[in-house]
Chain A
């Protein structure tokens, strides 16, 4: 399977702290995306990083990509209770337009 794997599976932090979650994948990719899912809802796109990029920022989000290690990390700085959600990475199949999602990291931010 092309599926990415997020690590850790669950993370609990205090409001104001930083949260880091990681994603590993198996084969070459064109890009990697991170999504957020609030409980029982659809997924919301957060950020896309292309295979020729190493780092990308969007507000309090910082994503890094290491294609040599086939891994990515998502850092959420100064976390808020509203950041409580599950976070998924998605990688595309190099030759097509399918995206493969990992099993997600469940983040709980305690007020």
Chain B
């Protein structure tokens, strides 16, 4: 059974902290994605990666960075967390132009 896992389901951090969200997929997919989901705004793409060490900005990359050192792992980094980054973060993976498989999500609260 295909699987995308995220390091935490719930996370509470303080303003200014550095935050790491990790995502691992076991399907050997080339593409991996990070989205944030907010009420009324749907899913918005933060970054995606189509290969190891490759990354592309999505619609809202400001305040975030990513790392993909291995094919199965894609990390989202909040360099200095702010309250407006409180959100649900969803990771997904896919092969080319195919369905995306999503992780369960991480609900991040920044206080």
Contacts and interface: CB of A to CB of B under 8 A. Distances in A.
B97 A92 contact: yes
Interface residues of B, number: 29
A81 interface: no
A45 B100 contact: yes
A44 interface: yes
A99 B100 contact: yes
Interface string A37-50: 00011111100100
Nearest to A30: B97
Contact of A103 (B33, B35, B42, B100): B42
A1 B59 contact: yes
Interface in A17-68: 30-31, 33, 35, 40-45, 48
Chain B at the A interface: SS class: strand
B104 to A, nearest CB: 5
Contacts of A35: 100, 102
B43 A101 contact: yes
B7 to A, nearest CB: 14
A40 B35 CA distance: 14
B81 interface: no
B9 to A, nearest CB: 9
A98 B99 CA distance: 11
Interface residues of A, number: 24
A43 B31 contact: no
Interface in B53-76: 56, 58-59
Contact of B97 (A31, A40, A44, A104): A31
A44 B102 contact: yes
A101 B48 contact: no
Interface of B: 4, 31, 33, 35, 40-43, 45, 48, 50, 56, 58-59, 88, 90, 92, 94, 96-105, 107
Given A42-B104, A98-B48, A101-B35, 6 more contacts: A1-B59, A3-B42, A41-B105, A43-B90, A44-B102, A90-B100
7 contacts: A3-B42, A42-B104, A42-B105, A43-B92, A90-B100, A97-B31, A98-B45
